């Protein structure tokens, strides 16, 4: 009879590695923490804390799919899960998990708080579904807005658009006002957003961009509402213009608490010259993410409820991918896992993409310590343009300049700049409005108390 090899968990060594992983987590080195938690798991797969801690580290990097997988394993070992579902806006799934946690841990105050928040969120969803107008009968919110009829009060001293043309002088004045924490009058905000909507609606899902020989083109990654770092990009690389065009590759808003300033600035440059600035849709240009991560609350606070609906509508008009000189494919999250999808499918059918193998792929979506990462023998570049992400990651930001005709990437990195004392996530949903030095998003996927950064 063959003997069965039994693997005995190396618990002491696993605990030693877990301590190192916790230290890495406290230092905001989440990728390193994930690697160390993985080593601990390989030594002892029956400790739910290792799986849960790794899941939480994944959520810090917004790798929610991996977080769900690890949290699912953790709940099989020790029934605790939910934060990843919350982070993705999947309130019904999170509610089921927190109901289970409440039964198992009835005295856990954090679980009780999250359960209550989930119950409220699910009730709100049910109400919205009950009163929702069928999609075929919905009227565009943009069609109901006439910005020309909105009066500008005499006491308003901010930037003004004369007539229907957005000028560079206006945008400079607006950015200066934003820098000093002044708001733009809603008449001009409406004008900028509505004009941008008209331009975006006319674009295909995949946009081909041509860069003439001797000219350059700049690609930026996630900005995430970090307006003062956006100003720094322009300081380092110049304003968007016909001779200095940009592509911002999604995730303009959320997390950072100056998302309104960021999106109005980007849209205003689009109004000045459509070919001077290109915009791709990221995963945070969506209703579900905006409800959770702050943009919706910020828009409601700085503008109005109508703008919440308007931005949601305009975000749906954003292209999903760009091709530069038929050589470089730029998309927010990366390639699809489904085989056989071609660039022509994006143009003709839906929002799917897979470039030929000889294209360079540029994507964003993930924090990188140096602001960028080059992989697959130089065929894949990740660029992230929000330095010191959420005021706690300590990462650099980066952008990429491509020079035509060779289109070789030149990567420029930069550090975060000071901003007013408004914390990230200041407008976020209640269950995500936690201080930067708090490590518990919930009691479900948690790094133990002694690991709080």
DSSP secondary-structure letter at 134? P
| Cβ(264)–Cβ(184) below 8 Å | yes
Determine the Cα–Cα distance for residues 339 and 353; give it in Å rounded to an integer. 10
- Judged by DSSP in three states, 162 sits in coil
Assign residue 145 a region: left if phi > 0, alpha if psi is -120 to 50, beta otherwise? beta
Q: In what order do the strands lie in the sheet with 408-414?
A: 277-279, 246-248, 216-220, 397-403, 408-414
- Between CA 188 and CA 63 the distance in angstroms is 37
SS3 219: strand
Q: Which sequence positions are flagged as catalytic? A: 284
CA dist 192 and 189 (Å) reads: 5
Residues in CB range of 256: below 8 A, 6 or more apart = 223, 224, 225, 226, 227, 262, 294, 386, 390, 424
User: How distant, in Å, are the alpha carbons of 169, 265, 294 from that of 268?
Assistant: 11, 5, 22
CB 425 within 8 A of CB 432: yes
| Length of the chain (residues) | 453
Query: Nearest 5°: CA angle at 236, between 232 and 237?
Result: 115
Q: Rounded to whole angstroms, how far apart are CA atoms 184 and 152? A: 11
């Amino acid at each position: 009879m063959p003997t069965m090899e039994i693997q005995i968990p190396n618990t002491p060594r696993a605990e030693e590695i877990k301590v190192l992983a916790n230290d890495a987590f406290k230092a905001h080195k989440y990728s390193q923490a994930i690697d160390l938690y993985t080593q601990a798991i390989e030594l002892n797969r029956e400790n739910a804390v290792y799986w849960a801690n790794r899941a939480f580290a994944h959520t810090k990097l917004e790798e929610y799919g991996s977080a769900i997988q690890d949290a699912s394993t953790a709940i099989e070992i020790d029934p605790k899960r939910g934060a990843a579902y919350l982070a993705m806006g999947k309130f019904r799934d999170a509610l089921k998990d927190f109901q289970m946690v409440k039964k198992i841990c009835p005295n856990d105050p954090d679980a009780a708080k999250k359960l209550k928040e989930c119950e409220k969120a699910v009730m709100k969803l049910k109400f919205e579904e009950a009163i929702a107008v069928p999609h075929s009968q919905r009227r565009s919110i943009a069609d109901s807005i006439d910005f020309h009829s909105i009066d500008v009060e005499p006491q308003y001293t901010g930037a003004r658009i004369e007539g229907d043309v957005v000028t560079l002088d206006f945008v400079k004045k607006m950015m200066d006002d934003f820098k000093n924490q002044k708001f733009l009058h809603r008449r001009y905000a409406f004008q900028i957003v509505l004009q941008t909507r008209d331009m975006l609606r006319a674009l295909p899902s995949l946009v081909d961009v041509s860069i003439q020989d001797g000219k350059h083109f700049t690609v930026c990654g996630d900005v995430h509402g970090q307006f003062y770092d956006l100003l720094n990009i322009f300081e380092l690389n110049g304003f968007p213009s016909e001779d200095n065009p940009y592509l911002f590759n999604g995730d303009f808003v959320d997390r950072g608490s100056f998302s309104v300033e960021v999106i109005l600035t980007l849209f205003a440059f689009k109004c000045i010259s459509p070919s001077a600035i290109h915009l791709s849709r990221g995963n945070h240009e969506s209703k579900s993410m905006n409800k959770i991560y702050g943009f919706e609350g910020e828009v409601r606070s700085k503008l109005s409820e109508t703008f919440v609906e308007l931005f949601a509508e305009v975000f749906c008009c954003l292209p999903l991918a760009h091709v530069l000189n038929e050589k470089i494919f730029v998309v927010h999250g990366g390639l699809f896992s489904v085989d056989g999808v071609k660039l022509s499918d994006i143009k003709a059918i839906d929002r799917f993409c897979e470039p030929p193998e000889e294209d360079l792929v540029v994507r964003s979506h993930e924090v990188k310590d140096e602001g960028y990462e080059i992989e697959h023998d130089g065929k894949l570049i990740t660029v992230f343009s929000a330095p010191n992400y959420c005021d706690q990651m300590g990462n650099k930001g980066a952008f990429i300049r491509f020079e035509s005709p060779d289109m070789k990437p030149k990567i420029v990195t930069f550090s975060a700049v000071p901003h007013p004392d408004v914390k990230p996530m200041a407008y976020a949903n209640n269950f995500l409005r936690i201080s930067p030095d708090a490590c518990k998003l919930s009691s479900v996927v948690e790094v133990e108390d002694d690991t709080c950064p």
